[in-house]
Amino acid sequence: MSVRRATPILNVSDVRASIAWFGQLGWKPRFVWDESHGAGEPGFAGIGSGSAEIFLCRDAQGSRESRPSRYPFDGATGGVWMSWFLDNAEDVDAMHARALELGLDVTMAPTDEPWGVREFHLRDPNGHTFRVGAATSE
């Protein structure tokens, strides 16, 4: 047996607002499901970028609670941590510049890490942190 694909599910307070936040960084909606039976508030959605996909779930699956952090760079987020791997370090710097231009919450500037990755950290309004990086050598 082998796993064909893994798709993270993020707990969000507003599916439409989350789709818009991710859209600023190039993610596209793949589906939106209205669990409110016509009340107008979607309860679940999928977004994608290339072959990557993330599910967004309104106030249900996953966690957004605050908790004390053991990481000094983390702040007090109880959200999910996820790595996004880009093609190259130049793309990391370009996405970082775009995030700053949009006024998004960048929690760590681009850094060349000793394990061979250039990355920066980005936090969404629901407290989820994304490590946006690329290999610095082949």
Q: Looking at the domain assignment, is residue 21 inside a domain?
A: yes
Is there a domain that residue 1 lies in? Answer: no
86 and 54 within one domain: no
Q: Please count the structural domains in the chain.
A: 2
pLDDT value for 74: 47
What is the overall mean pLDDT for the chain? 87
Element (H or E) spanning 89, and its range? Answer: helix 89-101
Please tell me the least confidently modeled range out of 56-60, 76-80, 129-133: 76-80
pLDDT tens by residue, 61-109: 877 655 444 444 445 556 889 999 999 999 999 999 999 999 999 999 9
CATH of the domain at 118: 3.10.180.10
Residue 64 is assigned to a structural domain of this protein: no
Please say whether the beta carbons of 20 and 42 come within 8 A: no
- Domain range for 27: 9-58
| Prediction pTM value | 0.83
Residue 63 lies in a domain: no
Contacts of 131 (CB under 8 A, 6+ apart): 81, 82, 83, 84, 119, 120, 121
- Examine residue 65 and state whether it is found in any structural domain, yes or no: no
**pLDDT for 62:** 75
